[in-house]
Amino acid sequence: MLDKSKEKWMKLKITTLAVLAALPFISAQAFAQSTTAANLENRVFGSLFGEYYLPDTDKTESASWNFMEKDFGYGVEIGYYLTETWAIRAEFAKLDLSSKLNGSDAGGNRLGIDVMYHLSNMPAVYLVGGLKRMDAVQDTSAFNIGVGYKHFINQNFGLFGEMNRYQGIDESYADAGIKLGVTYLFGAAAAPAPMPAPAPAPVQPAPVADSDADGVLDNADRCPNTAANHKVDAQGCTVFTEEMQRVGDVDIEVKFGFDSAAVSADQKTEVIQLAAFMKRFPESEVVIEGHASNIGNPAYNMRLSERRAKSVADILTSEGVQSARITSVGYGVTRLRVQGNTSAAHAANQRIEAKVTAKVKEPVIR
């Protein structure tokens, strides 16, 4: 039993070393060409992975499955990206499992094919489903569904993690597996289509003394056709004022559970969208106002509202928004949206409100 254990760990070490050996080369490539997304369409890929396999409880407690134990495996994949969204792949995995009862061999091979779908709004995330044939203790078929995350360091190399659920077809079981590995895209990405030739510059009409009547002669006017009521500078360009104004159409509201300052996954999406807006407009600012329902101690509710505001502010900073542009404040129960002691009133008051301002330019009217 000791020899089989040594052999198992030696295989695991070899697999781990193979992955680690690839990382320095991947890192070197990353310095030469750093990117977070590769051009995938019509490209063949190959992957190496290690896997932690978790058999169903029915297997770990059954003599017919030799009391199969959770353990490691490894494998290879070869696939093809039909489009940026869809891909197919074939997989071979070696499940290096043993019996938890006496350490005897309970492993085998897994062979199958998968279809992969990459989410359009989060292309690094993909869903996977397929059919597998396994010969660990018994020969069985299973279908699998799972989710993965793949990050490309450059146009060829990437790292990925993936979780799958294996549902037996001819035998009743539900195993699980967690993969970590490296992937390589063969060939070069397709060259982008050439840009169309720029349109020829329009022929300017013969200069007139002051065509747009802004008080600046045409030969010195760098902004022709300014509005007649706009004040202009010495070069004939509109003079603008700038001030911070509320941008109401990007304000957000996040609801919380009772006595909670945790932002739910679907609400976090709105906060991330707000962060994206603020990064596109680097002079924008936001005030995050935390509120609580009128239950319990007012001082505790004040602290709870402050934690709620801070949890949203922390998401914005984690998404790359400078903390100097974010103000978070708690109001406790001092600004209730709905009065009363009903569950609906409490749910409406357990919230934050994020109010955004941005620099707005307006022409000076003469």
| Residue 215 clears pLDDT 90, i.e. is over it | no
* Amino acid at the residue 219: N
Find which of 65-69, 114-118, 199-203, 230-234 is predicted with most confidence, using mean pLDDT.
114-118
Q: Is 59 helix (H, G, I), strand (E, B) or coil?
A: helix
DSSP state, 238?
B
Label residues 77-112 b or e (16+ Cβ within 10 Å = b).
Answer: bebebeeeeebebebebbbbbbbbeeeeebbbebeb
pLDDT in tens, 245-296: 777 667 889 999 998 999 998 889 999 999 999 898 888 899 999 999 999 8
Q: Between these two residues, 30 and 274, which has the higher pLDDT value? A: 274
Architecture of domain 2-185: Beta Barrel (2.40)
d(CA 137, CA 146) in angstroms, rounded, equals: 24
Q: Phi-psi bin for 42: left (phi > 0), alpha (psi -120 to 50), beta?
A: left
Query: Would you tell me how many other CB atoms lie within 10 Å of the CB of residue 164?
Result: 22
Label residues 193-223 b or e (16+ Cβ within 10 Å = b).
Answer: eeeeeeeeeeeeeeeeeeebebebebeebee
Mean pLDDT taken over the chain: 84
Closest among 84, 127, 121 to 276, alpha carbons compared: 121
pLDDT in tens, 80-102: 999 989 999 999 999 999 988 88
Domain ranges of the chain: 2-185, 244-363
pTM flag (> 0.95) = no
pLDDT in tens, 128-144: 999 999 998 899 999 99
Of 40-54, 140-154, 218-232, 343-357, which range is least confident?
218-232
Query: Would you tell me how many other CB atoms lie within 10 Å of the CB of residue 8?
Result: 18
Architecture of domain 244-363: 2-Layer Sandwich (3.30)
